[in-house]
Chain A
Amino acid sequence: MATKTLSPKSGAHFRLALPPLSGRLRPRLITVCTALAAATFLAVGWAVSMGDFPITFTEALKAVVGVGDPGTLLIVQELRLPRAVVGVLVGFAFGLSGAIFQTMTRNALASPDMIGFTQGAGTAVVAGIVFGWTSTVSTQVLGLLGTFVMAALVYVLAWRRGTTGYRIILVGIGLQWMATSATDYLVARGMQFQAHAALGWLTGNLNGRDWSQALPLALTMAVLVPAALALGRLTRTLQLGDDVAIGLGTRVQFVRLALLVTGVGLVAFGTAAGGPIAFVALAAPQIAQRLAGTAWPPPLAAGLTGALFVVGSDLAAARLFPMELPVGIVTGVLGAPILLWLLIRANRAGSGG
């Protein structure tokens, strides 16, 4: 027997007798997630229908599921859809990863692009381009390696009788600047066309993405996204500080390592597919948190915000500007004002942060 109640004291919740399922519901969070998912769907539909060869929205959606003339199918399935799918996946991965790190460290600045992981990927890829390794190893593999090496370094160097969120951030910022300097050095000593290719990758770009980028990312995310959402429950005690969390029966060091591995996996595969698209991992969780009115970055909403953010920015990059820009330039330009607006609005309403 199911009971669904809306008592003013406990808020909305559900409780089934058999199986003994129960939980609390957050109506506003559910609404926000639904709206974000719908908006992302529309953005993808728009992305596959617009271009030099215009296709109507309905035709484009039909072509996605394999109905239409061969020309339309080719354009939608091989050119536009992979790009949109990579955009959705990369954005979701970045947003979710940002939410994980911000929750784990209890600090909004602790997104993977602030604590060196993304810069590690950048150094590895640029080194590959400058030293000519890219003929044997793909930039995707280099990006993965760079992120993983950087994450391992951050974790090991931050370890002192266990890790704390604070030390992870400080060590991460230090390593981030070392990686950035190394990348700058490589770009400076590289030849002109190499430097150009390196800078192109460093901006974050969805241009010319095909299924070979989408597939590895999709497979990884099929594992990591459920893992991250499941770990989300354990972060509810972690948000109260390590001591309280231990007192509430949380294995703090294990949970933090599991979160780190999941978050690094998401950002590593995301970066490998789309490059270090700026600002998404930092801003998407914070935007989602303010939309949903929660006291922490909600993981699912953060992922959806990231997906909408990247696909929307890619659309804007292709349509709003006289020349086609890489998506990474637009995410910063679009994202910063949105976040600032939400922050200012929250401060005016009396509840800061």
Chain B
Amino acid sequence: MIPELQAGGLQLAYDQRVVVDDLDVKVPPGRITAIVGANACGKSTLLRALARLLSPRKGAVQLDGRALHSIPTRELARQLGILPQGPTAPEGLTVLDLVTRGRSPHQTWWRQWSKADEAAVHGALAATGIADLAGRAVDELSGGQRQRAWIAMAVAQGTPVLLLDEPTTYLDLAHQIDVLDLIHDLNRNEGRTIVMVLHDLNQACRYADHVIAMKGGRIVAEGDPADVITAENVAEVFDLRCQVTTDPVSGTPLVIPMGRHHTS
């Protein structure tokens, strides 16, 4: 049974600056959801609130009807995983050590390497294709490999819901596709609910089942990528003129930006 993640009447703020006000959102369980929008539109803020990294000033995020802050933190960590943007590991930490730490919410003082832990860690290394890197230091890996190692840590945590904040940032195009394919596999093979913040609209259309487009701290449109990513919506959300055609490879919407110097 996949838990349902939703939020109602959210007000999110840093000190006095309100970033998101009176927002309601429901994450479709078992699907991949992408949150898109211009810089500073509140998409990362919303994801942080969904992941309980930021406490709402008003309203609440709920997992299966229970407010996040009322769920014991370790119990919550067995249901809801978060991979923040640009995490850093201590110098010299091995991939195996990093992935093993994903098991923390399942471990106790006396039980620190159960059979389930071992199976989950090796399963995560295999699923992310980095089993042969297990003994290498995380900081010595390439950007793509490093991101895989962090995703492996989140996979080993074994949560039915996984939130990712810009998992493809700082990666070259090939590694971006590589990571998104991996996320797709996690969803399709293991049925995990995935919510991620993405910058690239075309990638969001390809990989997400559900797109949430945000501007100025509110949701402008949400739903199937084909319904959400239209020329009108892109113009409103990004202040960008564009044409939307069909991706010849995936059949999903493909955004062609125009800018000031080109016209159709």
CB-defined contacts of A23 to chain B, threshold 8 Å = 112-113
Q: Is the CB of A241 within 8 A of B88?
A: yes
User: When the two chains form the complex, which single residue of B88, B91, B113 contacts A353, counting CB atoms closer than 8 Å?
Assistant: B91
Interface residues of B in 68-87 (CB under 8 A from A): 73-78, 80-84, 87
Contact partner of A236 (CB less than 8 A), chosen from B52, B77, B104, B105, is B104
8 Å CB contacts to A: which residues of B21-65? 51-53
Contact between B113 and A15, CB atoms less than 8 A apart: yes
**Which among A19, A24, A295 is the interface contact of B93 at CB below 8 angstroms?**
A295
* Contact in complex: A247, B82 (CB < 8 Å): yes
Contacts of B248 in A (CB 8 A): none
- Tell me the total A-B contact number using a CB cutoff of 8 A: 112
Distance of A24 from chain B, by nearest CB (Å): 5
Alpha-carbon distance between A236 and B100 when the two chains are bound, in angstroms: 10
What's the interface size class on A, roughly? 35 or more
* Binary interface encoding of chain A residues 220-264 relative to chain B, with 1 for a CB under 8 A from any of its CBs, else 0: 000000000010010011011101101111110000000000000
Which chain B residues border A243 with CB–CB below 8 Å?
53, 82, 84, 87
Q: Is the interface of B mostly helix, strand, loop or mixed?
A: mixed
Which one of A5-13, A169-177, A187-195, A199-207 contacts B?
A: A5-13
**Distance in Å: Cβ of A139 to nearest Cβ of chain B:** 38
Q: Which residues of B contact A14 (CB under 8 A)?
A: 113
Total contacting residues, chain B, CB less than 8 A: 48
- A251 in contact with B53 (CB, 8 Å): no
Docked CA distance A23–B52 (Å): 30
Q: Residue A294 at the B interface, CB < 8 A? A: yes
Interchain CB contact under 8 A, A249 and B104: yes
Residues in A with CB closer than 8 Å to B81 are 247
Known interface pairs A19-B110, A248-B101, A249-B76; A241-B87 also in contact (CB < 8 Å):
yes
Chain A residues within 8 Å of B100, by CB: 24
Q: A240-B101, A295-B137 are in contact. Are A246 and B52 (CB under 8 A)?
A: yes
Assuming the contacts A22-B114, A247-B53, asked whether A351 and B77 have C-beta atoms less than 8 A apart, the reply is no
Main secondary structure of the interface of A (DSSP, over half): loop
Docked Cα-Cα span, A247 to B101, in Å, equals 11
Residue from B15, B75, B92, B112 in contact with A295 in the complex, judged by beta carbons closer than 8 Å: B92
Q: Does residue A296 face the partner (Cβ distance < 8 Å to B)?
A: yes
Q: B93-108, CB under 8 A of A: which get 1 and which 0?
A: 1101110111011000
Does A352 count as interface, using CB distance less than 8 angstroms? yes
Cβ of B81 to closest chain A Cβ, rounded Å: 6
| B76 touching A351, Cβ below 8 Å | no
Bound form: Cα–Cα A182–B184 in Å: 61
Chain A residues in 8 Å Cβ range of B93:
239, 295-296
Cβ-based interface call for A167 (8 A): no
Contact: A236 with B91, CB < 8 Å?
no
Q: A314 CA to B80 CA in the complex, in Å?
A: 53
Contact partner, B114, options A20, A233, A293, Cβ 8 Å: A20
B111 contacts the other chain (CB 8 A): yes
Question: Closest Cβ of chain B: how far from A343's Cβ, in Å?
Answer: 12
Give A contacts to B, CB under 8 Å.
9-11, 13-15, 19-24, 106, 161, 230, 233, 236-237, 239-241, 243-244, 246-251, 293-296, 351-353
Closest 3 CB pairs of A and B: A249-B77, A295-B92, A247-B82
Chain B contact residues, CB within 8 Å of chain A = 15, 51-53, 73-78, 80-84, 87-94, 96-98, 100-102, 104-105, 109-115, 117-118, 121-122, 131, 134, 137, 140, 154, 157
Q: Knowing that A24-B113, A247-B77 touch, tell me 20 more A-B residue pairs with CB under 8 angstroms.
A: A9-B131, A20-B110, A22-B110, A22-B113, A23-B112, A23-B113, A230-B109, A237-B101, A244-B87, A246-B82, A247-B53, A247-B83, A247-B157, A248-B102, A248-B105, A249-B77, A249-B105, A250-B73, A295-B89, A296-B90
